[in-house]
Amino acid sequence: METVDLLSIKKAYELLSPHIHKTPLIYSDSFSRLSGSEVYLKAENLQKTGSFKVRGAFNKLTRLEPCRVIAASMGNHAQGVAFAAGSLGLKATIVMPSTASIIKQEATRGYGAEVILHGETFQDSLDYALSRKDYTFIHAFDDEDIIAGQGTIGLEIFGALEDVDAVLAPVGGGGLISGIAVAGKSLSPKTAIIGVQTASAVSAYQSFRSGKVVEIIPQPTLADGIAVGKIGTKTFGLIERYVDDIIKVSEESIARAVLLFMERKKLVVEGAGAVPLAALLEPGERLKGKKVVLVVSGGNIDFTLIDRIIHKGLVSSGRIGVLKVIADDMPGNLHRLTGIIAGHGGNILNVMHDRLDQSMPIGKTMVILALETRGFAHLREMEEAIKESGFGIIG
């Protein structure tokens, strides 16, 4: 395949549809109310292997003669290729960096692939996989068959929903957004196709704005599935032509979005899959009142990190707050302070005294309180009540 167009995406759908789920397009009343938009979720987290990646993998592998295939991946592409290869009777080897989560390593082995750990970054693994000339290499994103396979998500979206104003999709190497954009602009030219990156990995964001491929080393991120240092050359060409914008979101907003998926929709969504919701909920009027589809790209979250992600989401949404209170170091004051918090409906998670802080005068103590609250407004309410009772607040 030399180009990606609507015809190639439709042909891809014929090939891969017997092997995959047609994932649901779910209207979300809660997210609609939170954002002021009409919000639908394309739930690829419910796809086989827990990610959209299996679409491109099947489209690529069904076109191959019997061979041994190799791929480099942090996790989702690995599982997609491993599952597709096993289903089609091919032998697959997956190269992963040593930093890839053990859960994703074991899931890939569980689908029947050989896993080789090489290097500390995705680029290290990619370079090694490319050096193995005795295998057929399956690229994670910069391949026309892979792109067309991911573009079948666009066929499903626009086949199920009319008058879509915008589609928001995660961007790492660009395979998902470029495929959806080709399908979307072919079927609904007025629909805005918007890519979302984490601020910790912004190659696509910077490339889109500079008009050329820019390589930027990713920083640690909750959205490890899109932590790609260099967007693909083929995907970039399609993005330039078909994508309306690429935006970035903070790590705090990603954590909040993961938490909201769990609380409001009872869906397990990985960081990369949560970035479209994070973008929708960040301040701005761009999509208010619009019909918006969020591509929830995957649900393969690392459960060894989930408690930290939830905690970060609670902090970023004001549901957990920390107050540093200056109090007279005398009996009864802590009881009075905790009584104020209880009276305003706050829940104390932890209390710590610091009498040794150099900024504390003799006879004073710093009381550090970790509180469970209803949000930032509730936290401010308790701060004001504490100040009105004669205590000092730091920060």
Q: What is the DSSP annotation of 48-79?
A: GGGBTHHHHHHHHHTTSPS-EEEEE-SSHHHH
- Give the separation between CA 222 and CA 101, rounded to whole angstroms: 12
CATH number of 1-317: 3.40.50.1100
Parse the chain into domains and list their residue ranges. Answer: 1-317, 318-394
- Give the separation between CA 268 and CA 163, rounded to whole angstroms: 28
The class (CATH top level) of 318-394 is alpha beta
pLDDT string in tens for the chain (395-residue length): 458 999 999 999 999 999 999 999 999 999 999 999 999 999 999 999 999 999 999 999 999 988 999 999 878 999 999 999 999 999 999 999 888 878 889 999 999 999 999 998 778 888 999 999 999 999 999 999 999 999 999 999 999 999 999 999 999 999 999 999 999 999 999 999 999 999 999 999 999 999 999 999 999 899 988 999 899 999 999 999 999 999 999 999 999 999 999 999 999 999 999 999 999 998 777 899 999 999 999 999 877 778 887 887 888 788 888 889 888 888 888 888 989 999 999 999 988 887 776 677 778 888 898 899 988 899 999 989 999 888 888 87
**pLDDT at 2 (0 to 100):** 58
Q: Rounded to two decimals, what is the model's pTM?
A: 0.85
| CA–centroid distance for 330 within its chain | 49
Q: What is the CA radius of gyration of the chain?
A: 24
Handedness of CA 25, 34, 180, 273 (dihedral sign): negative
Phi, psi dihedral angles at 197 (to 5 degrees): -120, 155
Q: How far is CA 92 from CA 72, 76, 117, 129, 369, in A?
A: 11, 14, 14, 12, 53
